[in-house]
Structure 1
Amino acid sequence: MLRCQQRERSTAAPRSPGDIVATDSGELHDVCIVGAGPAGLNAALILGRCRRDVVVIDSGKPRNGASRALHGFLSRDGTPPLELRALGRAELEPYPSVQLRQNTAVVAARRGENRFDLTLADGSTVAARILLLATGRIDLVPEKPGFREYYGLGVFHCPYCDGWEHRDETLVAYSSGETGHDLALDLRVWSRDVVLCTDGPSGLTPAQLRKLALNGVRVIEAPVVGARGGTGGVIASIVFEGHPELSCGAIFFSSDCLQKSPLAEELGCDLDDTGSVRCTGHAATQVPGLYVAGNVRGGVHLAIVAAAEGAEAGMAINNALHEADLK
C-alpha cells in the first residue's frame, strides 16, 4: 500500500510557513486537521513547532463533553475536558503558522492530486496538502429515561475513566450476553458489589452464569424502565418493571461507539470490524496523504493515548512533507 511517506520527491524549493502556494481555490496549506481534541491539538502543536502551515477545524462538540473530568492523563488527572481543550488552544498561540477555525465542521471533502479540498459548514473552503482526521467517536447512550440526563453524572461507558470515583459502591453493568458478562467482571476491579442488569433475557451461557456467581455478581433480567436521580443531581437508582428498584452508585453501559464523521470512509479508508480506521503505520492510512489519530483509530480510547497518537501523526506528517520538498 502506498504511504504518504513514500511519495515521490518534489523538485520544488522547500517552503516556509509564510510561503503559501496560491491555487484556484485559494491558499494551499501544509496540513488541515479536522478535530480539536487531545489528538488534533497535540498534532497541531508538533506541526507548529516544525513551522508547518496548519489549519485546525474545531466543531466544539467533543466526545467527552458530558464528562466532568478526564482521568489517567499524567499532570492533568481530574481536569474537565473542556478546560483541557482550552489549555491546548492557548498553547498553540505562540505558533503563528497554526490557525484554528472554531465552531464549524467539515461537510464535504475531496481528494485531488497531492491535495485535499474541504468545504466547511460556514460555507468557507480549505485546501491542504495533507489531511489529518482526529474527529473522534460518538457513544450511543441507551435510550432509557434518565440515562441521557445523567450521562456523566452517574451513567458512564468507561470504568477506567470513572470507576475510581465510585469504588466500593454498588455498580450496575447494563448490557447482556458476553459483553455484559465481561463488563460486569471488569467492574469487580472497583467494587465487590456488582449487578449485571440485562434488560430482558441475559443471553448468558451456563458457564458464564457460574463464573459471575463465583465472583459475586448478581444478574437481574427484568426489563429496565430507566434511571432515577437523587440529591445533588447524580444517579441514585435503576428502575425495573416487575422487580424492586435497585439503589446504586453508578451505571456503566456497553454500546457501539460510531465514527463521529463519515469523512474517513468517504475518502476511501478501510475500516475494521470494530468500525476503526485501519492504519498502515505511524497514523498513515492507505489513502495517500490522509492520516488519522485518536479515537478514529482502534485500541485504547483514553485522552492521553489520543494525545500521543496526535504527536505520532504530527511527526509522520512533518517527515512526509519534508521528504516531498527535498530536492
Structure 2
Amino acid sequence: MTDGGKYDVVVIGGGPAGLSGALWLARYRRTVRVFDAEDPRNAATWAVHGYPGLPEISPQELRETLRMQAKDAGAEYEAAVVLSVEGREDDFRVTLEDGRVFGARRLLLATGLKDIVPEIPGLEQFYGTSIWHCPDCDGPSVRDCKVGVIGWGRQIAAYCMYMLTFTEKITVLTHGHPPDMEQKARDALQRWNIPVREDVIDCLEGEGGRLRRAVFHDGGTEDFDAMFFHIASGPGASFAADIGCDADEDGILEIDKDHLTTVPGVYAAGDIVPGSRLAIRAAAEGVRAAVGIHKSLIGEDRRLR
C-alpha cells in the first residue's frame, strides 16, 4: 500500500547531496520526492566556506537555494521524518513518521553524519563561530592561531597532523580521558611540540561568539583563539543498514562508480560515502548519483548493445 503515491526516485535527506541529486533527477524528467528531517550536521556553522561562486553563504541559505532550484525543476520536497525503508529495486516503500507510505523505483540516501559533541559548559555558545569539528571547512579561519583540539581517541594525533596545515600552535585537550595513542602517535605530537593536557575542562569562556579561554577543574586556565573537536561521528540514519547496504565499521557505505550501494536500486551520496566532508563535494556526488539513477531507469528498448 503506497497511499502517498509512487515515484521514480525518493531522496532521503535535504542537504547539498540530496537536493543536487533531486535537481538533476528532475531535469532528467524523473518523478522525484525529497524527504528531509531538517536537522543538518552543519546547522551551527555560520558559513559554508570554499563553495565556488557562493562566497561565505550560510548553510541555511545554501539549502534554501538548492531547494528552490530542485522544486523549480519539478522535484517535490517535504519536511518530514522517514520512519523506515523496505522493499527491493523497482518496488521500495518509504514510511513516514505520520504513517504515510510512498513507493519508489529507486532510492537516493543522503542522510549525512552526526557528530558527538563534547558535553562541556559553554561550548554551545561558541560552536560554529570559534569552535568547529571540520578542519577542511574551518581550518583556514585559524591560520597561525592558538587552537585547542578536544579528543582522546586513536585518531586524535592524525587529526592534529592535519591541523598543522593551518597552525602549529596546537594543544590536545583530552577532557579528563586517558589518551588512546600508540607510541608512533605520541612521537609525532612530541616532534611537533603539541602538548597533551588531560585536565577536565570545567567550562569555556569568551564573548560575542569568540572563545577566549578554557577553565579547568583544578582552577587553572589556558587561553585559546579557537577550538576543534574530534570525538566520533556516525550515520545520521539507519536506513542503509536496515535495508542491507554494506558499510565499513564507521557506517560509511560501499558504492560503485555510479554511487550504487551493494543493494540494487539503492544509491548514496554525501557524507555517508567515502571521501572528504565538504558541501561542494556532497553536491557533486548528488549529481553523479542522479546520473547513475537516471541511466538505470532507461528502458531496455532504448539500450543499444
Superposed pair shares fold, TM > 0.5 = yes
In 2, distance between residues paired with 1:233 and 1:172? 16
Pick 1 or 2: higher relative contact order, CA cutoff 8 A, min separation 6.
1
Deviation at 1:237, TM superposition (A): 1.4
1:31 paired residue number:
9
- Runs of 5+ consecutive residues of structure 2 not aligned to the other structure: none
State the Cα distance separating 1:112 from its structure 2 match: 4.4
- Partner Cα distance (1:268, 1:203) in 2: 32
**What are the superposed Cα offsets for residues 107-156 of structure 1, whole Å, 9 maximum, x if unpaired?**
12221462111111233221111111111111110122222343213221
- Aligned pairs for 1:225-264 (under 5 A) are 225-228=202-205, 230-242=206-218, 244-264=220-240
Decide whether aligned partners of structure 1 residues 220 and 88 sit closer, same or farther in structure 2, where only a CA change above 3 A counts: same
- Long gaps (5+) in structure 1: 1-22
Query: Once the 2 structures are TM-superposed, how far is the Cα of residue 206 of structure 1 from its aligned partner?
Result: 5.1
Number of equivalent positions: 302
**Residue 59 of structure 2, aligned match among 76, 81, 84:** 81
Would you say the 8 A contact 2:115–2:233 is kept in 1? Answer: yes
3-state DSSP of counterpart to 1:74: coil
2:27 is the alignment partner of 1:60: no
What does the per-residue CA deviation read over 1:63-119, in whole Å, with 9 as the maximum and x for residues that have no partner? 1111100112211231100100011112123323x11112x1111222146211111
SS of residue in 2 equivalent to 1:110: strand
The CA distance in 2 between the partners of 1:164 and 1:317, in whole Å, is 36
Aligned match of 1:14: none
SS of 2:227's partner is strand
- Where does residue 12 of structure 1 map in the other structure? none
Give yes or no for contact 1:44–1:92 (8 Å, CA) kept in 2: yes
Give the structure with higher Rg (CA). Answer: 1
**Secondary structure in 2 aligned to 1:296?**
coil
Q: What residue in structure 1 maps to residue 179 of structure 2?
A: 202
Q: Which residue of 2 aligns with 1:316?
A: 292
Match of 1:121 in 2: 97
1:211 lines up with 2:194 in the alignment: no
| Alpha-carbon contact 1:142-1:148 (below 8 Å) kept | no
CA distance, structure 2, for counterparts of residue 214 and residue 258 of structure 1: 31
2:68 to 79, 90, 93: 90
**1:326 Cα deviation (Å)?**
4.1
Q: Contact 1:171–1:187 (CA<8 Å) still a contact in 2?
A: no
Question: Which residue number corresponds to residue 199 of structure 2?
Answer: 222
Q: Residues 16 and 283 of structure 2 are in contact (CA less than 8 Å); yes or no, is this contact kept in structure 1?
A: yes
Following superposition, the deviation at residue 216 of structure 1 comes to 2.7
TM-score (ref. length: structure 1) = 0.86
Change in CA separation of 1:217 and 1:268 when aligned onto 2, cut-off 3 Å: same
In the aligned structure 2, how far is the partner of 1:270 from the partner of 1:322? Answer: 26
State the distance in 2 between where 1:113 and 1:234 align: 50
Residue from 122, 126, 140 that aligns with 1:146: 122
Q: What is the root-mean-square deviation in Å for CA atoms of aligned residues?
A: 2.0
Of 165, 174, 194, which residue of structure 2 is paired with 1:189? 165
Alignment-derived partner of residue 42 in structure 1: 20
